[in-house]
């Protein structure tokens, strides 16, 4: 019998932190796994199923219901573009389209080089600065399609 992988060991440790872990602790367990690894890998989901005696399909069903869970790793520079009402009115759709065009990815994807990932969010909470996007912890405000290439180049340089 093969020894547990590092992912399986981490999953066991996380679940051990939840006494009497079961179906009712699934969401906090998945949140902790995602916090540790940055996303929910297939291996981690299978390990959770084994540890909690739950079908993998049930775990995926729960995880895909909530948009907080990711199944692919985020890029080094995770972009969140706001599509809330104020940002929408001020042109965030055009900014999103510029990001997709420049990065050659869709929302929810990561660039092949792993430098950028793109996420659409309902609201960032900076409505007075619309349209807005976060790149990691940095806020970029009053965006236009024209500034997107320069902002992305800035992060490319910092990442090299």
pLDDT in tens, 102-154: 999 999 899 999 999 999 999 999 999 999 999 999 999 999 999 999 999 99
Are 103 and 56 in the same domain? Answer: no
Specify whether 61 is located in the same domain as 102. no
The tens digit of pLDDT for each residue in 36-81 reads 998 999 999 999 999 999 999 999 999 999 878 988 888 999 999 9
> To 10 degrees, the CA torsion angle through 38, 42, 102, 90?
-70
Q: Which residues contact 48 (CB under 8 A, 6 or more apart)?
A: 11, 15, 26, 29, 30, 33, 54, 59
Boundaries of domain holding 91: 77-159
Which domain CATH number covers 97?
A: 3.40.30.10
Note whether residue 88 is domain-resident.
yes
Global pTM reads: 0.73
The contacts of residue 32 (CB under 8 Å, 6+ apart) are 14, 17
Say yes or no: 58 and 99 in one domain.
no
Q: How many CB atoms lie within 10 A of CB 15?
A: 19
Peptide bond into 131 cis (omega under 30): yes
The reply to whether 99 and 142 lie within a common domain is yes
**Domain C-terminal end among 23, 38, 65:** 65
CB 36 within 8 A of CB 48: no
Neighbouring C-beta atoms of residue 71, cutoff 10 Å: 15
* Secondary structure (3-state) at 142: coil
């Amino acid at each position: 019998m093969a020894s547990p992988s590092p992912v399986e060991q981490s999953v066991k440790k996380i679940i051990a932190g939840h006494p009497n872990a079961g179906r009712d602790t699934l969401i906090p367990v998945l949140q902790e796994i995602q916090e540790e690894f940055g996303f929910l890998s297939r291996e981690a989901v299978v390990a959770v199923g084994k540890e909690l005696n739950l079908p993998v399909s049930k775990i995926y069903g729960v995880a895909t219901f909530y948009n907080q869970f990711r199944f692919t790793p985020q890029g080094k520079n995770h972009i969140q573009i706001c599509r809330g009402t104020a940002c929408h009115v001020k042109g965030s759709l055009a900014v999103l389209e510029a990001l997709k065009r420049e990065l050659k990815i869709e929302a929810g994807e990561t660039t092949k080089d792993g430098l950028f990932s793109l996420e659409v969010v309902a609201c960032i909470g900076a409505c007075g600065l619309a349209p807005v996007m976060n790149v990691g912890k940095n806020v970029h405000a009053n965006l236009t399609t024209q500034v997107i290439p320069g902002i992305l180049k800035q992060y490319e340089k910092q990442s090299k």
